[in-house]
Amino acid sequence: MWGLGGKHYWGRKEGSEGKVEGIVVVFAWMFSEPSHVKKYVDFYSSLGWNSLVCHSQFLNMFFPDKAAALALEIVNELLEELKARPCPVVFASFSGGPKACAYKVLQASDIPRYNNSLQGGEYSLVRDCVSGHIFDSSPVDFTSDMGTRFFLSPAFFTTPPPPPFVRWLAHGFASSLDSLFLSNFEAQRANLWQTLYASVSIGAPYLILCSEDDDIAPCETIRNFAQRLKDLGGDVKLITWSSSPHVGHYRHHPKEYKEAVTEVLSKSSFVYSKRTCQVKSEKTTTIEHSNCKNYEQPREREGGDLWEEGGDDQNVPNISTRTRINGHGVLGEILSDVCVPKNVEGWDMSMGPRHSPRLSLTKSVRRSRL
Do 24 and 102 belong together in one domain?
A: yes
Question: What are the residue ranges of helices labelled H in the chain?
Answer: 34-46, 64-84, 97, 103-109, 111-114, 120-129, 146-152, 164-180, 182-198, 219-231, 249-252, 254-294, 330-339, 361-369
For the chain, give the mean pLDDT. 76
Residue 356 in this model has a pLDDT that exceeds 50: no
Report the C-alpha gap between 370 and 365 in whole angstroms.
Answer: 9
- So what's the pLDDT on residue 150? 54
Residue 270 in this model has a pLDDT that exceeds 70: yes
293, part of any domain: no
Residue scoring higher pLDDT (53 or 2): 53
Do 142 and 33 belong together in one domain?
A: yes
Instruction: Write the CB contacts of 113 (distance below 8 Å, at least 6 apart in sequence).
Output: 107, 198
Do 354 and 250 belong together in one domain?
A: no
How many CB atoms within 10 Å of residue 341?
11
Contact, 108 vs 114, CB < 8 A? yes
Residue 332 in this model has a pLDDT that exceeds 80: no
Instruction: Write the CB contacts of 195 (distance below 8 Å, at least 6 apart in sequence).
Output: 103, 106, 107
- So what's the pLDDT on residue 103? 96
Do 337 and 215 belong together in one domain?
A: no
Q: How confident is the model at residue 358 (pLDDT cuts 50, 70, 90)?
A: very low
168, part of any domain: yes
Final residue of a domain: which of 263, 284, 305? 284
339, part of any domain: yes
Q: How confident is the model at residue 54 (pLDDT cuts 50, 70, 90)?
A: very high
The packing angle between helices 64-84 and 120-129, to 10°, is 80
Do 278 and 335 belong together in one domain?
A: no
Report the C-alpha gap between 330 and 336 in whole angstroms.
Answer: 10
**φ and ψ of 57, to 5 deg:** -80, 150
145, part of any domain: yes
- So what's the pLDDT on residue 215? 85
Percent of the chain whose predicted confidence (pLDDT) is above 70: 59
Coil, strand, or helix at residue 305?
coil
296, part of any domain: no
Residue 283 in this model has a pLDDT that exceeds 80: no
Report the C-alpha gap between 115 and 13 in whole angstroms.
Answer: 29
Q: How confident is the model at residue 331 (pLDDT cuts 50, 70, 90)?
A: very low
Question: What are the residue ranges of helices labelled H in 20-102?
Answer: 34-46, 64-84, 97
Report the C-alpha gap between 223 and 264 in whole angstroms.
Answer: 18
H or E segment and range at residue 237 = strand 236-241
By residue count, the chain amounts to 370
40, part of any domain: yes
Do 217 and 334 belong together in one domain?
A: no
> Mean pLDDT lowest for which of 2-6, 175-179, 235-239?
175-179
304, part of any domain: no
Residues 352-367 have a mean pLDDT of: 46
Do 241 and 349 belong together in one domain?
A: no
Do 92 and 235 belong together in one domain?
A: yes
How many CB atoms within 10 Å of residue 128?
17
What sign does the dihedral 213-166-141-139 (CA atoms) show?
negative
Residue 115: give its domain's CATH number: 3.40.50.1820
Residue 147 in this model has a pLDDT that exceeds 80: no
Residues 14-36 have a mean pLDDT of: 85
- So what's the pLDDT on residue 110? 77
Contact, 310 vs 290, CB < 8 A? no
Do 78 and 140 belong together in one domain?
A: yes
Residue 142 in this model has a pLDDT that exceeds 70: yes
Do 170 and 254 belong together in one domain?
A: yes
Residues 143-167 have a mean pLDDT of: 54
- So what's the pLDDT on residue 15? 57
Residues 62-77 have a mean pLDDT of: 92
123, part of any domain: yes
Give the closest residue to 199 by CA, choosing from 144, 281, 135.
Answer: 135
Report the C-alpha gap between 23 and 265 in whole angstroms.
Answer: 10
Percent of the chain whose predicted confidence (pLDDT) is above 90: 48
Residue 232 in this model has a pLDDT that exceeds 80: yes
pTM over 0.75: no
Cα diameter, the chain: 139
Segment 308-326, tens digit of pLDDT: 444 444 444 443 444 444 5
Final residue of a domain: which of 221, 249, 284? 284
Q: For the chain, how many structural domains are there in total?
A: 2
Residue 133 in this model has a pLDDT that exceeds 80: yes
Q: To 10 degrees, the CA torsion angle through 35, 36, 42, 45? A: -100
Contact, 246 vs 216, CB < 8 A? yes
Q: How confident is the model at residue 242 (pLDDT cuts 50, 70, 90)?
A: very high
- So what's the pLDDT on residue 259? 98
Report the C-alpha gap between 43 and 249 in whole angstroms.
Answer: 14
Residues 72-98 have a mean pLDDT of: 95
Contact, 148 vs 175, CB < 8 A? yes
Do 6 and 120 belong together in one domain?
A: yes
Q: DSSP secondary-structure letter at 315?
A: G
What is the tally of helices (H) and strands (E) in the chain?
14, 12
The tally of CA atoms less than 13 A away on the side-chain side of residue 238 is 19
- So what's the pLDDT on residue 30? 84
Which residue range forms the structural domain that includes residue 202?
2-284
Do 257 and 344 belong together in one domain?
A: no
| Euclidean distance between the first and the last CA atom of the chain, given in angstroms as a whole number | 113
